[in-house]
Amino acid sequence: MNFLTAKPLPRRTVLRGLGAAVALPFLDAMLPVFSLRGLGAAKPVHRFQTFYVPNGMAMEYWSPKGEGSGFELSPILEPLAPYRNQMLVLSGLKANWNYIHAGASGSFLTGTTRGGRNEVEIIADVSMDQLLARQFARETQVASLELAMDAPANAGACTGNLSCVYTHTLSWRSPTQPLPVEYNPRAVFEKLFGDSGSTERSAREGRLRQHKSILDSVSEKLARLKSELGPQDQVKVDEYTESVRDVERRIQRAEEQRDVELPAMEQPQGVPPVFEDHLALMLDLQLLAFQSDLTRVISFMISKEQSARPYPQIGVPEAHHPLSHHGNVPELVARMSKINRYHTELFAGYLAKLRATPDGDGSLLDHVTILYGSGISNSNAHSGDNLPVMLVGGGAGRLKGGRHLVYKDKPSMANLLVTLMDKLDVPVERLGGSTGRLPIDTLSGV
């Protein structure tokens, strides 16, 4: 475009082809003209993500020493050292609904104080991510993404004779409508880039039969657009489209490996057999969703509550959930901490990609608020006191990181959710069982 006279490229520009719609990353051509002249800066898009880890935490290895900016990173948090200045660790928060594993994930984003009493009674509260989704849906094509590494279970009892929905999702559209999670990378990819957003099996199989990349269907439009962009924007488009194509290739390879390497297993289409490969795809899809501004709200569970996944790759062959009931035996707690630390190592890899992805006048990491943590502290006792939670990211300039805040009066986790709604400019008076707002900008002068 003519940078002195033309209108900026719309932020939600989408290239549509046969059965596909490819959004673009943030480009200089999308900035207002006065911003390009140095007369002002466009307000950054503020995104929100939850990164949930299950089965509690080895708290001795999680809790940092010291308060304020002088805190020491704990063994579990050490892998996040490069992001210390954009970390806000919060100690002393109390779960709103502390009922074994159901209350852990069931109240994490809802702040609900109670749930159902049997496997068919399903009740909680509207979750924070869905309150945000209602607002941000006006600006994005996908209101929110609810993702996980485990297949959803929407029926039957999983914990304490309560419905499995409590342990398999964080997101609730209404007090009686939990949202199912998606764990199939192919389905997520097509929800983001398929023209209708459909994830019906017939549609997916049709595309597989065609063996065509979604990008191929918009190649001509993409070429025309690039010819009208400046050199820097052309590089951005090339890098972004190669990232999309790379994810698509990896999904295809995972599907081929499923058939060749594991013929005796019933493996859902698009789900790699190796945990780390599956996770890498799911995280890259979240990165693409943020980069293209297809959504600004994501909830993600690296495992469901009561997950029995073993981690032999890090020397922990025991199933996660049974190990979490360690009887406070030091050796078993230490082994549990290896799983907790491995999760932060994997999380650190995701943060590195967010930091390396330009977004306006900063990076995606600068413009996101990530709520990381678990709805249980001491897993052996299913404790809801002193939850292991932290905020990571620049929060589009709304978060002050590099600190460890310790709350002495056991404030409600729901109070934090209300405060985060303020930070994301979608204020609410209450959320679940909240009793006010949690002070996170200043606390005891730190």
| Averages of pLDDT over each 10 residues, the chain, 446 residues | 52 58 68 51 88 98 96 98 98 96 97 93 96 92 94 84 95 94 92 59 48 68 78 76 74 61 40 93 95 94 96 97 97 98 98 96 97 97 97 97 97 98 97 96 62
Three-class SS state of 198: coil
pLDDT, position 34: 45
pLDDT, position 195: 47
pTM of the model: 0.83
Which of 9, 446, 2 shows the shortest CA–CA distance to 225? Answer: 9
* Alpha-carbon torsion angle 190, 191, 197, 203, nearest 10: 40
pLDDT, position 224: 78
From CA 66, how far away is CA 389, in angstroms rounded?
16
From CA 376, how far away is CA 366, in angstroms rounded?
28
pLDDT, position 265: 33
| CB of 164 closer than 8 Å to CB of 154 | yes
pLDDT, position 21: 61
pLDDT, position 40: 52
Which of 43, 26, 25 shows the shortest CA–CA distance to 35? Answer: 43
pLDDT, position 7: 61
From CA 124, how far away is CA 169, in angstroms rounded?
12
Residue the block writes with tokens 């559209």:
173
Architecture of domain 43-183+271-423: 3-Layer(aba) Sandwich (3.40)
Residue 371's beta-bridge partner residues? 50, 391
